[in-house]
Amino acid sequence: MVTYFYGVGTVSERPQYLSAEERRAATVQAVVDLAAEQNPAEITTTAIADRMGLTQGALFRHFPTKDAILGATMTWVGERLLVRLDKAAEGAASPAAALEAMFMTHIDFVARHPGVPRILLGELQRSGETLAKRMVQTLLRQYEQRLRRVMEAGKAQGELDADLDVNAAAVLFIGTIQGLVMQSLLAGKVGRISRDAPAVFAIYLRGITQRP
């Protein structure tokens, strides 16, 4: 039986010696891995515990409910994705380059963690309000805020169309990635998203750059 350590993906045969923090991190990793293999809505606490080599009782000592596990998973996703996006934008030479770096960074994140978009889509489709769903919505708002800042800088520098609606452009940016994700999921080929992304972004960028 294997278990997973937070962020590094190493394997241990002795899960009973994990600290509480490592156990919570391993739980999140187990959920992400399971979501890459099956419908996230059908992932049970029994399946999570089995993947980690634990009893449900041991799992519930760290997370009282499945929603608490999903909430922790959303925190993991949000923190890591936004940090990567910020680093990508900071290292870019121009606003347009920053947008491309953010786009490709998001694509790389999905390719590395194919279970993540399945979880996100599943949460957004759930009826009613849940902690995880609210966290997904917050993540999207924070993502769009970052995009709008970069786009406003691009307009100010004359690199992007002066009349660009940054709100619509931010929505389209994320929607374009979501479309690529859906196609890769439908095709059952995660690698497809990395193959198609550069050409798709080039078309997107032409639509928002400064007109001659």
The answer on pLDDT for 54 being more than 90 is no
Q: How confident is the model at residue 17 (pLDDT cuts 50, 70, 90)?
A: low
* Residue 162: both structure tokens together: 């002066």
Give me the residue spans of the domains in the chain.
3-60, 66-208
Assigned CATH for 3-60 = 1.10.10
Residue 201: exposure state from Cβ atoms within 10 A (0-12, 13-18, ≥19): buried
Between CA 115 and CA 138 the distance in angstroms is 19
Give strand pairing partners of 16. none
For residue 67, the model assigns a pLDDT of: 86
Helix (H) / strand (E) containing 144: helix 131-156
Fold match flag (3-60 vs 66-208) = no
Mean model confidence pLDDT for the chain: 87
pTM for the whole structure: 0.84
- Kindly report the three-state secondary structure assignment for every residue of 157-174: CCCECCCCCHHHHHHHHH
Q: Does domain 66-208 have CATH number 2.40.50.140?
A: no
* Residue 210 Cα to chain centre, angstroms: 30
Q: Is 121 helix (H, G, I), strand (E, B) or coil?
A: helix
What are the tens digits of pLDDT across the range 19-34?
Answer: 778 888 899 999 999 9
